[in-house]
A and B are shown apart, each in its own frame.
Chain A
Amino acid sequence: MRIDKRGVLTGTWNLSGNQACAEGALAAGCRFLSAYPIPPSIEVVERFTQRAKEVGAVFVQMEDEISVLAAVLGASWTGKKSMTVTSGPGFSNMMEHLGLGVMLETPCVIVDIQRAGPAIGIPTRVGQGDMMQARWGSHGDYEIIALSPSSPQEMFDFTIKAFNLSERYRVPVAVMSDAYVAHLKEKVVIPPAGKIKIKPRRYYKGRKDKYLPFKRDKDFVPRMVDIGAGYRFHVTGLTHDERGYPIMFEECQEHNVHPLVKKIRHYVDKIVEFQEVETDDAEVVIISYGATSRFALKAMEQARKSGMKVGSLKLITVWPFPDKRVAELAKKAKAFVVLEINYGQIVFEVERCSYGNANVAFVSHGEKGIDNIEDLLSTIEQVMKEKKVRKGIIEYRT
């Protein structure tokens, strides 16, 4: 095995999504992983712990997912890039510290290998039911960044991207993968370390006694320091001022919490990423993310063969949602077909952003087998026949 100092396993490998995720984390410089055993996320931990000793990384298995994310936040403040990996029930447990991570503006990455839910659901089967939870699951106001990989290669790439985004915006970043992609084995190309872009932490470099933990740059993001560097700073989960001291007035809520939202919303155009295929002349655009985007492309090809003008919009960042692009496409295309492995989550965002300019049809994927695209194809056919824009989300009986 060729391993350089930064832990990059350069080469072409046959890896599962979970293994690729662990490699991506190590390549991004992640040196602290904490997790609680939960399928279908376990291979990430197994791979990471096997490789940990070679790169000086540490893993700690905590007593529950609540403490897992607490430990990740603590470790992040020591200057270590930190990550956790979990699935639905664990993700629910993490909601408490997702909020703390947002409030303390602590960079970290949370990988959620989604499985069927709610509650225990089917621990080994694919689902995409946590998408809204990632955005709204913790109490109070916040914005978050969530990426959705659709292949082992993207598990590698997006894990690195997630670390970079979390360091740039000082926000926990979620990688919303799913059991299908996590267990899929495919070719993964890991480039040499020099070819991988790593965003370093943005440190404060001024006088020690002048450090204010939450004084914002012009881009709304404060600078960090490490524990033990002699700054003797204070941070709190209470609404706080620039010094990190609690202030219990509404004005401070505006001063403190509004920038947490603004620092993401202001840069939406920079953060948002998606992939479009043949949307220029498309009458119907299939919107998908993660595992479903593989089947969206398959259906698109088949539909094109039979003469239907179908395009595909694959979301890379699900949060923030590409509002602008969906609104533009709604003016050009006749309809959207949203494909998700749940009973309707991101479809509500698509409906909101189409502003009544296009029909929005929903297909719940996976019930008839993960690679069965009959429902999708028949929905495309039926939505093409619609004469005018119907209100609400259309679900055809199939």
Chain B
Amino acid sequence: MSPLKTIDSKIVHPMDNLLRMERIPHIWCPSCGIGLAVTAFTAALEKAKIDLNKVAIVSGIGCTGRVAGYTKLDSFHTTHGRPIAFGTGIKIGNPEIKVVVFSGDGDLIAIGGNHFIHAARRNIDMLVVCVNNFIYAMTGGQVAPTTPLAAYATTSPYGCVEPPFNIPYLADSSGAVYVARWTTLHIRRLTNSITEALNKRGFSVVEVISPCGMYYSRINKLGDGLDMMKFYHDNAEIRHGEDTKNLGIGFQTKIIVGKFVDRERPTYMDSYNKWLSEIKTEEKLRK
């Protein structure tokens, strides 16, 4: 990212051309990690050297669902859980568009879980950035399908009784071609991963573990955002290529981060066009 520039004696922030500055200040609480994920994303957009007019960002509902509203791209704030389905329509409607889905764990893995696995199975050419803060934050801290076993939430006052989803494992087994996980502490590595995923063809998933100082860490008495960052510093372990089934996250246990999956598979449009050209040649031959 370039340093601060001045144009017409006005100070211009390097992210100005990528953010809707008229909408700042944003709604996120102090100590929230979503802003860091957005910083990494905007930096990656510049690094990836893609035509920004051809990028569409789609978000669902929730704290992370607000990201689309702050990014200066063709941006869509849709219904709860459905950004992947909406993005599928965009991608198939115009395959030239690079579709980015930026949403939270509740949006993508709970209510949108079905769309997540099916888009991965179809290998829709799309980047999914899933910010995982272990809780439904916008609605006030309810238990989520990513809440670690025994962690407290307002709707699990005796501790969460359900085992959480392991997002990279879910993405891997459903057919995603690129799967990585970082915490908001790993801002440089996260930026590199998103850059790589932006240029990857196929269904790519980048999970971002993010602190939620207002709900998750307050209810669980884990301190504020800074304490969470310290926790990530001490407990995150980089293990590239780790088998995704070992990536489950327990309550205050070690968080394994890194790039786990990077493979090639024909995308939905590849297969569609291949089928189409085969049929057309067959018909020509028949004539």
Contact = CB atoms under 8 A, between A and B. Distances in A.
A163 to B, nearest CB: 16
Given A74-B88, A74-B89, A64 B114 contact: yes
Interface string B111-128: 000110010000000000
Interface in B111-156: 114-115, 118
A294 B72 CA distance: 54
Nearest to B117: A63
Contacts of B84: 67
Contact of B78 (A76, A79, A233, A237): A237
B246 to A, nearest CB: 28
B85 A70 contact: yes
A341 B44 CA distance: 57
A380 interface: no
Contacts of B76: 74, 77, 234-236
Contacts of B20: 234, 245
Contacts of B94: 78-80, 226-228
B138 to A, nearest CB: 12
A166 B89 CA distance: 18
A67 B69 contact: no
Contact of A74 (B77, B86, B276): B86
B23 A73 contact: no
A32 B93 CA distance: 7
Contact of A234 (B68, B79, B279): B68
B54 interface: yes
A133 B151 CA distance: 42
Interface in A185-200: none
Interface in A54-69: 58, 60, 62-64, 66-68
Interface string A42-63: 0000000000010000101011
Contacts of B74: 227-228, 231-233
Interface string A135-156: 0000000000000000000000
B69 A236 contact: yes
A303 interface: no
A75 B114 contact: no
A62 B85 CA distance: 8
Interface string A100-142: 1000000000000000000000000000000000000000000
Contacts of B39: none
A62 B88 contact: yes
A72 interface: yes
Contacts of B276: 53
A170 interface: no
A71 B23 contact: no
Contacts of A229: 53
Interface string A221-244: 000001111111111111000000
Interface in B53-73: 53-54, 56, 58, 68-69, 72-73
B8 interface: no
A346 B69 CA distance: 41
Contacts of B96: 228
Interface of B: 20, 22-23, 52-54, 56, 58, 68-69, 72-79, 82, 84-90, 92-94, 96-97, 114-115, 118, 268, 272, 276, 279-280
Interchain residue pairs A-B with the least CB separation, the first 6? A74-B89, A71-B89, A75-B93, A67-B85, A78-B93, A70-B85
Interface of A: 32, 34, 53, 58, 60, 62-64, 66-68, 70-80, 82, 96-97, 100, 226-238, 245-246
27 contacts: A58-B93, A60-B268, A62-B85, A62-B118, A67-B84, A70-B89, A71-B85, A71-B86, A74-B88, A74-B89, A75-B89, A75-B90, A78-B94, A79-B93, A80-B93, A80-B94, A82-B93, A227-B93, A227-B97, A228-B54, A228-B56, A228-B97, A233-B74, A233-B75, A234-B77, A236-B68, A246-B77
Given A60-B89, A63-B115, A78-B93, 19 more contacts: A53-B280, A58-B92, A67-B85, A67-B115, A70-B82, A70-B89, A74-B58, A74-B85, A74-B86, A74-B93, A75-B92, A97-B79, A233-B75, A234-B20, A234-B76, A236-B69, A237-B79, A245-B22, A245-B23
